[in-house]
Structures are given as structure tokens and as C-alpha cells.
């Protein structure tokens, strides 16, 4: 598996993601947002941070980076595309995932360990977990409040596109949504940071199965 971790100006979780992937034997590398091709990669990761300073709206400027045309091509080709935190915001701005991330219901930056429930355990991102399994994953965001109109929310529910939910909703997200995927099941975004929960030294390995799930999915296609 060869993976690209996209680094936007203002990204600050790109190396966290790189090291997490490498821990699982993935051939991963940092790719600048100035590049315009991702043809050689099996999976694409958009990490957390504050792309372009989060001016205008979170992800609104990054959506127009040269690399995003290649990200869209990869998504349309069925490759795995993953956005974490700011990466999730960028994917919604680019129209690769539905909805929008708004300011937290209680104004302010949340930095905490949050309990999640595996809503759909039959995805490329959760197949190593048990359905309804509870895990703890760190969050760090000020604009993690997932919003969509009722028709979109109903569609997400009906198509089993909601992958993770908050057990105790920290930010006001509709339907307690913490992570969703597209209808095809290859584009995924979540606000919590699984790459920060993969090493025993950090006292939390609940994110390991997230990476194991993707790796097994790609290897099964090889």
C-alpha cells in the first residue's frame, strides 16, 4: 500500500498521520498541496491542522489548492480518500462529502478524549472493529459541529454512511455524527484523530483498528 499525506500550508498533523501509517508498514510520504498528480498512490490522507490559517471558512481556501483536482480524480477512481479534522472540513468544502462543519455549539476549542461508537462496522475504515464497539479517540477542534439539511441526514442514515457517532456529543453535531463516508464507501471524513491513538506510549491504541481496516481493504484488492 502506498499512501500520500497531503500537506497544506497550515497543516500540523501531517507528520502524525505519516508516522501512524508507517507504523503499520505503509509506504507513506508527504505530498505538497502544490502538486497536481496522485496517480501512483493507493490511498490519500488529508490531515488535521489549520489550512491557510482557516481564513474565510475552515477548508474553504484549501479546497482550491492544485492537489484537490488530483484528490477528486482519486476519489472518482475508487481509491481511499480520508480526511481527518481539517481534512474532513476540506472534503465537505470540495463536495466530496455532504454537509458542513460549523462552529462548536458551545463556542471554543475542544481538546479532549472522546468516546465514539462504531455505527457501521462493515466499512473500509471500521471492518476490524465490532459493530457498536465503543472506543476513545482524541478530538481537537473549534469547528466540528456537523450540519446538513434533513434530507441529507436522512439519506446518510438510510445508506449507512454514518460510520462513527459521539457517545456524548461534544460539539452539537447533527445525529451525533463524528465520521461519515460517501455512498461508494471510499471517501471518508471524521473530526476525531485516530492517528493520535495508535501507540502504547500515548496510553491509547483505540485508533489502531482504523488503520488495520484500511490496510486489509487495500490488500484484499491487490
Q: What share of the chain is helix, strand, coil (3-state, %, to 5)?
A: 30, 30, 40
pLDDT of residue 57: 85
Question: Catalytic amino acids?
Answer: 85, 193, 195
Go through the domains of the chain in sequence order and give each one's CATH number: 2-221 (3.40.50.880)
pLDDT of residue 46: 98
Instruction: Please report, in tens digits, the pLDDT of each residue of the chain (222 residues total).
Output: 899 999 999 999 999 999 999 999 999 999 999 999 999 999 999 999 999 998 888 999 999 999 999 999 999 999 999 999 999 999 999 999 999 999 999 999 999 999 999 999 999 999 999 888 999 999 999 999 999 999 999 999 999 999 999 999 999 999 999 999 999 999 999 999 999 999 999 899 999 999 999 999 987 776
CA-based nearest residue to 85, from 104, 70, 106 = 104
The pair phi, psi for residue 161, each rounded to 5°, is -85, -10
Sequence-separated contacts (24+) of 174-180 with Cβ below 8 Å: 174/146, 174/147, 174/148, 175/146, 177/99, 177/146, 178/114, 178/116, 178/146, 179/88, 179/116, 179/125, 180/97, 180/98, 180/99, 180/146, 180/156
pLDDT of residue 119: 97
Q: Indicate if the alpha-carbon torsion angle 118, 193, 61, 22 is positive or negative.
A: negative
> Whole-angstrom Cα distance, residue 168 to residue 102?
18
> Whole-angstrom Cα distance, residue 123 to residue 218?
12
pLDDT of residue 56: 81
pLDDT of residue 222: 62
Amino acid at each position: 500500500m502506498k499512501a500520500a499525506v497531503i500537506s497544506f500550508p497550515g497543516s500540523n498533523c501531517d507528520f502524525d498521520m505519516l508516522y501512524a501509517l508507517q507504523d503499520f508498514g505503509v509506504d507513506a510520504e508527504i505530498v505538497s498541496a502544490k502538486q497536481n498528480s496522485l496517480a501512483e498512490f493507493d490511498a490519500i490522507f488529508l490531515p488535521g491542522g489549520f489550512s491557510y490559517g482557516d481564513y474565510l471558512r475552515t477548508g474553504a481556501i484549501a479546497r482550491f489548492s492544485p492537489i484537490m483536482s488530483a484528490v477528486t480524480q482519486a476519489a472518482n477512481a475508487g481509491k481511499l480518500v480520508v480526511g481527518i479534522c481539517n481534512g474532513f472540513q476540506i472534503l465537505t468544502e470540495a463536495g466530496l462529502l455532504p454537509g458542513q462543519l460549523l462552529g462548536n455549539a458551545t463556542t471554543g476549542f475542544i481538546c479532549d478524549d472522546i468516546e465514539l461508537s462504531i455505527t457501521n462496522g462493515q466499512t473500509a475504515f471500521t471492518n476490524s472493529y465490532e459493530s457498536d464497539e465503543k472506543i476513545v479517540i482524541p478530538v481537537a477542534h473549534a469547528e466540528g459541529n456537523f450540519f446538513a439539511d434533513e434530507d441529507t441526514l436522512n439519506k446518510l442514515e438510510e445508506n449507512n454512511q454514518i460510520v462513527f457517532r459521539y457517545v456524548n456529543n461534544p460539539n452539537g453535531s447533527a445525529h451525533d455524527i463524528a465520521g461519515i463516508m460517501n455512498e461508494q464507501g471510499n471517501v471518508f471524513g471524521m473530526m476525531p484523530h485516530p492517528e493520535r491513538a495508535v501507540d502504547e506510549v500515548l496510553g491509547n491504541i483505540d485508533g489502531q483498528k482504523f488503520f488495520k481496516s484500511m490496510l486489509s481493504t487495500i490488500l484484499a484488492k491487490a
